[in-house]
Chain A
Amino acid sequence: MASLALDRSSPRRMSEANRHELAELNHRLEAKPAARLKVENLSVTYATERGPFYAVDDVSFEVRPATNLGLVGESGCGKSTVVKALMGLQPDTAWVGGQALLDGDNILGLGERALQQIRWSRISLITQSAMNSLDPVYCIGDQIIEAIRAHERVSKSVAWARAEDMFALVGLPASRLFEFPHQFSGGMRQRTVIAMALALNAGMLLADEPTTALDPIMQSQIMSRIRGIHEQMRRSMILVTHDIAVVAETCEDTVVMYAGQVAEKGPTNDVLKLPLHPYTMGLQNAFPRLPVRGEPRQPLISIPGVVPNLHTPPKGCRFAGRCPFATDKCHSEPPPLVQVGHQSATCHYVDRAAEFRVLAAQPNTWRKTKAEA
């Protein structure tokens, strides 16, 4: 486990005792191993005026220690719901089933006190909008040391020193710890949130679309830092995104979700280069690829139709309404999770995946589906 070689050349004068305390804190924190997370049969149902809403249905996956898992899907697939359930952020009207074992301990259905103990310390969240994590009336430094001191018994100045170290990690000057969130630009705020999430060296990081609201250049800068976290600090992470290419660059494993269920999962290379599920194939081909000079442009496809209404989920495969290869069996029987090597997909016709892949690359295949976008 790599420990950070930080340059303690900060001009902040610290007493001998404090320096000792800081060293001990760092030692304690850096000894924390990367977490293993096993999610088994996670389901989330919301009670609404129109009846139950089956947002997430029987989702299982595993995050191996010190790996990045990409959770990919489009609007309404349930990926944010999964993350919120893992952090215990679901409202009381939601029913959460299944279990999520973080290093063997189930973190679902915990009481408020137990949740407080694991948040920041064992599992951290980086949200889409930094303003959701940052309190506008306190300066950043105060917020970070509050998080640190909630879990570790250290003095304020030691906690502040650790906060400075965190800022150095993300490339922000330590003096800005005195500033308030509104004084930061969007990209800097996001870096602040990352610094906060790392303050206690939690074994598991959840990043919920951390770059969606940012401009492309800032996005790439944040993602490179996230990759840096991965390489240097060896934490485990779940990266939620709708962008397949981000997952390709950053994650070892991928889970593709559709309409609240897992459509496909496995090592990223396998899932993206040789997808088994027609939805993954469609999603891949819907992403614009950069033109290569001299070659004709790759056609861009669109998946017609809309996500099914999860108040009344269809009884067969949830993608059947939009799938160009769907048969009657697909509409009537829910598909099983079929394993092929390290990959698995919920589809009746996994054995024909190679054939489907060729067809899925052609726009006309998708046009023949009866659904209308």
Chain B
Amino acid sequence: MNTLMTSDHRRPTISDHTSPVVVARDLKTHFQMSAGIFAALTGGAVPTAKALDGVDLRIREKEIVGLVGESGCGKSTLGMSLVRMYQPTHGQILYRGEDVTKVEGRRLKDYRRHAQIIFQDPYSSLNPRLTIGQIIEEPLIIHGLGNAAERRQKVVRALDLVRIPAKDNIDRYPSDLSGGQRQRIAIARALVLEPKFIVADEPVSMLDVSIQASVLELLDELSRELGLAVLYISHDIATVGYICDHVAVMYLGRIVEEGKAEDILSEPLHPYTQRLMAAIPRMDLADAPQRHELKGDVPSPMAIPPGCRFASRCPYATELCHAVEPDLAACLGTRKVRCHIHDDRAAAEYPHLRRPKQDQVTEMADLGVLAEVAGSRHG
């Protein structure tokens, strides 16, 4: 059963012909910020936070898709939009071919049975006043499935799936359990309705490193055993590399790079992905790739700059980058990158604008006096 942990672990290859469970098509979720009275009276534009601004993604059965990015990039918004916690404002969500973007009532409730979400904080995602049994049973009660005896059976089965002994724990309270165990309960709760799609929003970020692996392992096994499609959201690209088949990197509401996990991790193409990978601390400082300091801060989702969204911070940015936003273009087979360095089309259209080149730094960020001298190492 535990094939993950053999030294020659490979995730099962998913054939291209498998139809996807969930597809996002140009999905956008814009939030209207509350305008002041003045603006409302004078008819001024209401500021909109474009948290999610056009994402295409597909997740197939038994596939674990990783979504990586920093705060404000829209990954959580995408996850929440896919389970209809946030209402997408444009675009489509297709569940097994059916458009569920705007459904309500009975149909929405049906969709909710099949799409579940797990949150980051194991300490606040369980109601402290309910027993473990009641917590896991709740989704069944919400959807009116089965009588008390049948519900108990399903709860026991769910606990078994997450490797928590049912008999001992079904009547305990969350405060009796550790963080790792609570996260498993949250997973059990998500599984009790037998969903087909799970969004895991940073499920291990708040757990100690020494127990992260067991929860990740669990997610991996469950996806294979139960045929689940999983969207794994994290800012920690290293853990993403462990269980994901396919990875998408997000920045300011859009995907900037996409491809197979091992490709992206070993050879990132987009400057942002490169910087993310470089940021990971290495056991040997000498192994760390060059870490360019990024200029400035992430732009606000309410004021997205023209051209490439990353241009304001990119060390390789040129005039072309500031003027034209690149499309997500196919590159090297299954990979896709949103960058003029790897995409010729814009350069052909605007020949007068200088084109960026890999490793050609155009502008250095101000490091201050304290930045470490490159290549030096403590004794």
Contact = CB atoms under 8 A, between A and B. Distances in A.
Interface of A: 4, 6, 68, 74-75, 168-172, 185, 187-188, 215-221, 223-225, 227-233, 242-246, 248-252, 272, 282-283, 286-293, 296-297, 299-304, 306, 363-364, 372-373
A144 B10 CA distance: 54
Contacts of A233: 370
Contact of B371 (A228, A246, A288, A364): A228
Contact of B368 (A216, A225, A290, A304): A225
26 contacts: A169-B370, A170-B370, A215-B235, A216-B235, A217-B294, A219-B279, A223-B281, A224-B371, A225-B368, A228-B371, A228-B373, A230-B378, A231-B372, A245-B283, A246-B281, A248-B284, A286-B213, A290-B241, A290-B280, A291-B241, A291-B265, A296-B8, A300-B212, A302-B211, A302-B217, A372-B163
B378 A293 contact: no
A220 B291 contact: yes
Interface residue tally on B, bucketed by range: 35 or more
A288 B285 contact: no
Contact of B366 (A171, A244, A251, A286): A171
A245 B214 contact: no
A166 B148 CA distance: 66
B7 to A, nearest CB: 6
A4 B281 contact: no
Contacts of A302: 210-214, 217
B280 A249 contact: no
A252 B378 contact: yes
A242 B235 CA distance: 17
B378 to A, nearest CB: 6
A297 B180 CA distance: 24
A178 B168 CA distance: 59
Nearest to B263: A293
B376 to A, nearest CB: 6
B32 to A, nearest CB: 24
A169 B369 CA distance: 5
B228 interface: no
B288 interface: yes
Interface of B: 2, 4-10, 70-71, 163, 165, 178-181, 208-214, 216-217, 235-239, 241-242, 261-262, 265-267, 275-285, 288, 291, 293-294, 297, 366-373, 376, 378-379
Interface centre among B208, B238, B297, B370 (most CB of A within 10 A): B370
Contacts of B7: 296, 299
Given A246-B281, A293-B262, A297-B9, A216 B236 contact: yes
Contact of B278 (A171, A220, A272): A220
Nearest to A4: B369
A373 B181 contact: yes
A300 B216 contact: yes
Contacts of B9: 296-297, 299
Contact of B211 (A68, A272, A290, A373): A373
Given A220-B278, A243-B281, A288 B265 contact: no
Contact of A228 (B178, B181, B267, B372): B372
Contacts of B211: 302-304, 373
B280 A228 contact: no
A159 to B, nearest CB: 19
B370 A232 contact: yes
B371 A171 contact: yes
A195 to B, nearest CB: 9
Contacts of A372: 163, 165
Nearest to A301: B213
Nearest to B6: A299
A373 B180 contact: yes
B282 to A, nearest CB: 6
Given A216-B70, A217-B279, A249-B288, 7 more contacts: A74-B210, A216-B235, A221-B293, A221-B294, A251-B378, A288-B241, A302-B213
Given A169-B369, A286-B210, A272 B8 contact: no
Given A290-B241, A297-B242, A373-B211, A364 B376 contact: no
Given A249-B288, A290-B266, A291-B265, A220 B213 contact: no
Contacts of A290: 238, 241, 265-266, 277, 280
A252 B266 contact: no
The 6 closest A-B pairs by CB, nearest first: A171-B368, A302-B214, A245-B281, A228-B370, A220-B279, A215-B70
Given A216-B70, A217-B294, A292-B266, A68 B209 contact: no
Given A272-B283, A290-B265, A290-B280, A227 B372 contact: yes
Contact of A168 (B242, B275, B368): B368
A301 B211 CA distance: 8
Contacts of A243: 209, 281
A225 B217 contact: no
Contacts of B267: 293
A185 B294 CA distance: 15
Contacts of A171: 366-371
